[in-house]
Structure 1
């Protein structure tokens, strides 16, 4: 085949026409006799019967019963029974999809089918089986009766597939620099650089939190705040941590130690075994479907047989909101019941055990307090369906703390109570006391009232926390004992309530906290309440806050009240126009008992362009008028913000940047700030490939996926809309299941080349027929011809051999590409091919 604008002069060649379709095989609704031309048409039966698919392998996103099952390489074969192309599914593939293959094998034996057949004959084994191939979305939807699915398989991931990730080092940074000008003073500078550093080697993860502070007065100072080493312990579903760490704070107040801890990691469990949920029980009269909803969201839809049923694998959408159970009988009858549901952080499912243990030496922040050995251990056990018992032990030199408690889910909400007894000995003086804590959680669905959390604690005068005990020791041993003076809590009360008033009347919230102390008069109080609603396109919110605070005396260990403050603020905002680029105007009015009222007006929005750049301008009238402006956005390798402010007697400018630098075997890459678990994409022989969620691969072919969920199936996709046309990606989606803190390497197969639209004509001047396949010299399919004999192909070689096939006919030759035109997504080339093949008919004009 030679690139040419004129037809090559070659002798006529005889070719064999495509055999006519057999009776009954011609697809209804399309008559191939309308395809005109002297060259015999290609056999279109596979296209027209197989929904646009040819008998070969395809990478497809598979979903079983509407649940994603990952991306798989699926082979399509012709089914003589159905008379069309169908997906060839093996027992291994079906097992991966969550199908109970044991039941299939039993059915196969009963029907005399071979258990080792390469393709499972699902139409015979499962008459209800259906599939829907969507070629335009590269999706395969499979429907199999729920009775043939393994229970909860859709959420269970084999631990052997957990990915420990690559060997990498990274630095997650947050940088800020500021310059201030004040009348009559020299300009001052201050800078801050926060670093979250990490190194992953095998299953071990080393982490360090540190910062660098620099200013005009104190110079530059580096501080390392915390360093620890961590890894998974699969046998006990735990995280082993060594170094500087914090003890668990659910039962006892957490403290920082230098030592070792082993903490239960609930993320290692299947999703339907995490957290707490009640068991749903009921009775079905027929083969029924049980639908369970919470706050309007469907949690599960489960087929059940006649008689009693138990559903214990729910995964609630939140910790509050009663469950609505709908039983849909076979005859269409629907019965609806409701079951109360509330949960507290320490609650677990029946029979489940959760634990946390840590031991080491107390790690003083300032290095002045004593650093005794410390041990903390806690556990929670699901004693019954609605009852969790928990407790723990905390010990140090001269200190013992013991906790026992329980949590229960009732019709009136979730309630927990626990009692902590402490004994503290300092220089022969022994103190003991108790602390009682009550917690409550409830959502009243019918009135849309949500008690997020209500709590009360009372501590006797002799009660000490571990931190109180260490503070007391430091006070006695220090030359400046009053520097350790601290308030000792007597009572603490907190509540948070959210009330929806309906679509027309908005919502209101109230939160309050009140604390009293043994060694201080008065209390420390915070009260906040607010109301929000919309009127047309205008949103408004009114909030009121009241605070009163206390401070430790610098002369004795007593504390005193510093006064109170009450403030109110009204905020009104409305878009100025419609569309994504329409700015939003905001007005604020605020005032309080301790300061002058203020009024402000602002405008914020997004600038036009490929990159999203957000702007904001604001003016405020307090004693005087002040103004400010900011611009923020995301670049491929960082997020940034620039702002400036001006008022009476001062000016200031500020610049911030956030991002990550990752060092790995393929080089160094920069990107947006990453989470605890993130990914590294590699697409060899490419650059600048867009990634879903933002970002691109660099010149080394690597890119950063900023966040992944640990121990869960994560879909990582290439964004072809942000990828140059000269790049070809074999698969656009892959799945990965990372361990916590891992950085898995996700390798896509890609290539850089050129897209060419060939107009292919035979050596006698006739275009090739519709649906002829175009292959390279190695037999790899590159494209299919359209009705004008044109085919869009992707090539990596400037010169080579192409082969076109249809039926038993073939056309082979050489091609040579013209000079690349960077202004075009693809180029057009007219080529001539030499026919090869049969003896029945001569191809002539």
Structure 2
């Protein structure tokens, strides 16, 4: 049999072609079906008179979600700033399908940290048109419940790190709180005339939070007992009620407190005060606390007074010491430090406590208004009514203008000043105060005081000028505190010498992570119509090696008193060395210390053991033994001692 190949081949080819065309047509039909989603609206129709056909075009060609209000996380330039309910509306697009866009009012944009005045177009419905700002856009992610806003940085309100919006602040809970500290010391002297003395000191800071009000008190109690007498003293540094006014960024204080020290020297008062509250600012914008450094020749008691009140008291081991945990008293003023040695001798020195130059950010206004009666630690001083107001405002170009007034029955003063940030050269402020005053039993006097302050950090060299200042007073100038203190019932009161000029500086120099640091402090004063002057200088070096800390200190103290007083010139140089070795290998939280101190009066050395215990190391303990010549204690009448402290006499200090 023979096959006819000429007729079979065309039939097979035609069959294959038909199959290929069929598959292509089927693929085309499938693609057409998948191109669009189709929902049968008849499934949602309700047989109700007047009911129209359901429109599902929003889900077929639109954003896939209906317009309305949604709870979303709001992101501005990829930073989450809020979670709130936002209204979304349908917006048609000429280049694509319709999208949901947020309706953001001017107030909403401000609350999100966006400067709404940068947008020039607001629609009739009150929604801001983001197209008014170039490159601004809004994207809604319904699946993640997120609204992404892309805003140019020029339209973003600068927010400091840690900023908390006023509307997110509350009054907290009602609570009672109590902070306290207790210290005690016991000393015994050998020999025929030796004695026994015990000192105790208690610091109490109770408080009560009730609604928007805060009640606070700061009280101290001390007791000194020896072989024959017992002396006790209890005093209240302040008691006040306080509440915040969030809309003003201010705080109202009723009771006993202190005025700010930005423009004038701080004054203690009993009355009322309305002032800007820095606690409402982020932590990065708050000020600093003073530090006290010095040298003790034995297990000494350190007492710190500010404005006449004892604000700190504790015991330190022999050698160099540093106090950096002072509780703020709400004001400023020099810290008068007394170091009481175990043999009865005392050191007196002054730590300058002044704020850095008065600079504020552009547009910030800081103010205070105070009215009340002057409150002195001396109860014989008249409680004179007074008023004080001050204001500080940040101007463009890093310039700050400030000023204030003080007025009372015996005193009137006006202060004006300015400060400037000079970039790499640091910052400074200069001001002048003109005053008219009348001290008790004296004629009215007038005078002026100039003050210049400077602050700078040299990052490359690790040098830090905490405060460098100079103050010049004319012969007729007095501060309000000096004048009001003169109106007293004390019959033997005599006016203190008027300060002529004062220079002060504190410099810290870092020598690297392994070489330690150097500290230099200086205070110098002299007075009008008097030979009295005071100079206090200290230089210290501190370092560590494998957990062993050591320090070397040198101090120079010069005091010149009036010619009609004894001890017209007092000058003393001191040298100290200390080393502390941890004993963690045998006893945790325990150290052994050695100190050597030398002055023109004596040379002493001691070795001791100290440590901490209990939870959070709340208990400190220590003991020491050493050799030290016994010094003769020279008695000073109390009136002269008060004058001695007021004139900032004596020694070694480091701020």
Query: Which category of TM-score, normalised to the shorter sequence, fits these structures?
Result: 0.5 to 0.7
Shift of 1:445: 2.4
The correspondence for 1:91, drawn from 55, 58, 72, is 72
Shift of 1:514: 0.4
Shift of 1:606: 6.3
Q: Is 1:421 aligned to residue 421 of structure 2?
A: no
Shift of 1:414: 0.7
Q: Which residue of 1 aligns with 2:594?
A: 587
Q: Which residue of 2 aligns with 1:637?
A: none
Q: How many residues align?
A: 444
The correspondence for 1:527, drawn from 529, 533, 537, is 537
CA shift in 2, pair 1:144/1:614, >3 Å? farther
CA shift in 2, pair 1:175/1:501, >3 Å? closer
Shift of 1:459: 0.5
CA shift in 2, pair 1:449/1:560, >3 Å? same
Q: How does 1:716-795 map to 2 (within 5 A)?
A: none
CA shift in 2, pair 1:378/1:220, >3 Å? same
Q: Distance in 1 between matches of 2:281 and 2:470?
A: 32
Q: Which residue of 2 aligns with 1:431?
A: 445
Higher-Rg member (1/2): 2
CA shift in 2, pair 1:368/1:560, >3 Å? farther
In the alignment, is the contact (CA less than 8 A) between 2:357 and 2:454 conserved in 1?
no
Q: Is 1:374 aligned to residue 352 of structure 2?
A: no
In the alignment, is the contact (CA less than 8 A) between 1:606 and 1:615 conserved in 2?
yes
Q: Distance in 2 between matches of 1:612 and 1:355?
A: 39
Q: How does 1:548-563 map to 2 (within 5 A)?
A: 548-549=558-559, 561=568, 563=570
CA shift in 2, pair 1:395/1:100, >3 Å? same
Shift of 1:108: 9.2
- How much is the aligned-residue C-alpha RMSD, in angstroms? 4.2
Q: Is 1:356 aligned to residue 368 of structure 2?
A: yes
Higher helix share: 2
CA shift in 2, pair 1:611/1:192, >3 Å? closer
Q: Distance in 1 between matches of 2:144 and 2:517?
A: 47
SS in 1 for 2:500: strand
Q: How does 1:657-672 map to 2 (within 5 A)?
A: none
In the alignment, is the contact (CA less than 8 A) between 1:267 and 1:274 conserved in 2?
yes
Q: Encode CA deviations 1:478-505: one digit per residue, 9 max, x unaligned.
A: 42233xx423211100111222334454
Q: How does 1:565-584 map to 2 (within 5 A)?
A: 565-575=572-582, 581=588, 584=591
Q: How does 1:207-356 map to 2 (within 5 A)?
A: 207-216=216-225, 217-218=229-230, 222-269=234-281, 344-356=356-368
Q: Distance in 1 between matches of 2:554 and 2:376?
A: 38
Q: Which residue of 2 aligns with 1:171?
A: 178
Q: Encode CA deviations 1:41-86: one digit per residue, 9 max, x unaligned.
A: xxxxxxxxxxxxxxxxxxxxxxxxxxxxxxxxxxxxxxxxxxxxxx
TM-score using structure 2 length: 0.59
Q: Which residue of 1 aligns with 2:377?
A: 365
Q: Distance in 1 between matches of 2:614 and 2:255?
A: 49
Q: Encode CA deviations 1:740-760: one digit per residue, 9 max, x unaligned.
A: xxxxxxxxxxxxxxxxxxxxx
TM-score using structure 1 length: 0.46
Q: Is 1:601 aligned to residue 601 of structure 2?
A: no
Q: Distance in 1 between matches of 2:604 and 2:429?
A: 44
Q: How does 1:436-585 map to 2 (within 5 A)?
A: 436-474=450-488, 478-482=490-494, 485-503=495-513, 505-535=515-545, 538-549=548-559, 561=568, 563-575=570-582, 581=588, 584-585=591-592
SS in 1 for 2:543: strand
In the alignment, is the contact (CA less than 8 A) between 2:184 and 2:198 conserved in 1?
yes
Q: Distance in 2 between matches of 1:253 and 1:600?
A: 41
Higher strand share: 1
Q: Distance in 1 between matches of 2:465 and 2:139?
A: 52
Q: Which residue of 2 aligns with 1:206?
A: 215
Q: Distance in 2 between matches of 1:610 and 1:252?
A: 40
CA shift in 2, pair 1:520/1:619, >3 Å? same
* Greater relative CO (CA pairs within 8 A, separation 6+): 1
In the alignment, is the contact (CA less than 8 A) between 1:107 and 1:125 conserved in 2?
no
CA shift in 2, pair 1:461/1:171, >3 Å? same
Shift of 1:417: 0.6
SS in 2 for 1:418: strand
Shift of 1:274: 6.9
In the alignment, is the contact (CA less than 8 A) between 2:72 and 2:86 conserved in 1?
no
Q: Encode CA deviations 1:736-787: one digit per residue, 9 max, x unaligned.
A: xxxxxxxxxxxxxxxxxxxxxxxxxxxxxxxxxxxxxxxxxxxxxxxxxxxx
Q: Distance in 2 between matches of 1:545 and 1:207?
A: 39
Q: Distance in 1 between matches of 2:556 and 2:275?
A: 39
Moved more, 213-222 or 357-366: 213-222
Q: Distance in 2 between matches of 1:197 and 1:421?
A: 40
SS in 2 for 1:98: strand
Q: Distance in 2 between matches of 1:161 and 1:345?
A: 32
